[in-house]
Amino acid sequence: MPSEAEAKSESVGTVVVAGTANLAIAVAKLVAGLISGSAAMLSEAAHSVADTTTEVLLFLALRRGARPADTRHPFGYGKESYVWAFLAAVFTFVAGAGFAITHGVTTILVHKHSGNYLASYVVLAISFVIEAVSLTRATRQIRRESRRWMTTPRRFLRLTADTTVKAVFLEDSAALIGLLLAGVGLGLSQLTGDELYDGLASILIGVLLLVVAVILARSNISLLVGRAVPERVHREIERDLAGLPTVDRIDTLMTMQLGPQDILVAAKVDFLDEATGADIEAAADEAERRLTARYPEVAYVFLDPTRSLTRLDGRHARRTQESTDEP
């Protein structure tokens, strides 16, 4: 099982590989687009430029969010990573999707193709291979992380707090689909002599970027607001706390993602009546040991001893944080 430090390093590596690939591809697409005059190729160039800028912002997110806690920010800077990741999603929407859609519409209405297709086909083929390599790396990281969290890759991708690897995966997937769309648009335009298909391909690439941007923006907004851990993890944390020898019950349990690799756990705990102060201190130490052993991302554990809550019928009232992330 990879450590927390290894997971952070792997995320940085994934972003760097994706950014380097996108920069090289952007230059090649731009040259091919200018030579051929293809709207789809120029939209793909804008797509890669947007992705490259996104990787730079994601790199900043990882670096800025990994700074240690200080007196002014006692819980660290983890949430700052979501600010930069959100800006990356917005940039993808404005620069990538906006350019692709408007350029596609312009091409359909007024643009004339130069008729030089060979350079575009060569660049599309090379770009597809490079993007596939980048996507493979991101996919491997997702599979390893999903095994560490004992869940499926699909669910991990949906619920992960590491939005950088999520962004790379979605952007690389969108890039491969966009390359296929550009290739189909170019091919149909060449066969029919009608620029409609090239323009439509450009518009579809823009819509694809828009979908990715919305998904990433929503994910980062949720984490900025203060999202809890997934329900399965929540239940396991509750079971670990309830299993402590001197604990009678857990009245309230709340969790929050403080950053991609930091989780806060806070609970109101009803201890056994005969538990002494020393017993409660020992239980708090044991709780932190258990939780950090199972989930190294748990950075803070706060237990608040409290009297049991009762209903009118005399039974204990069980209040725990609810989550709608999982069924």
3-state SS class at 270: strand
pLDDT for res 58: 81
In the chain, pLDDT over 90 holds for what percent of residues? 28
What is the torsional sign of CA 221, 54, 41, 108? positive
Residue 23 has pLDDT above 50, yes or no: yes
Q: Which pTM value belongs to this model?
A: 0.78
Q: Are strands 298-305 and 262-271 parallel, antiparallel or unpaired?
A: parallel
pLDDT single digits (tens) 100-123: 888 888 888 876 655 567 888 888
pLDDT single digits (tens) 25-63: 878 877 777 777 777 777 778 777 777 887 788 888 878
- pLDDT level of residue 141 (50, 70, 90 thresholds): confident
Buried b (16+ CB within 10 A) or exposed e, 225-238: eebbbbbbbbebbb
The overall average pLDDT reported for the chain is 82
| Out of 52-61, 213-222, 285-294, least confident range | 52-61
215 against 120, higher pLDDT? 215
Question: Is 60 within 8 Å of 87 (Cβ atoms)?
Answer: no
305 against 17, higher pLDDT? 305
pLDDT single digits (tens) 148-164: 888 889 998 888 888 88
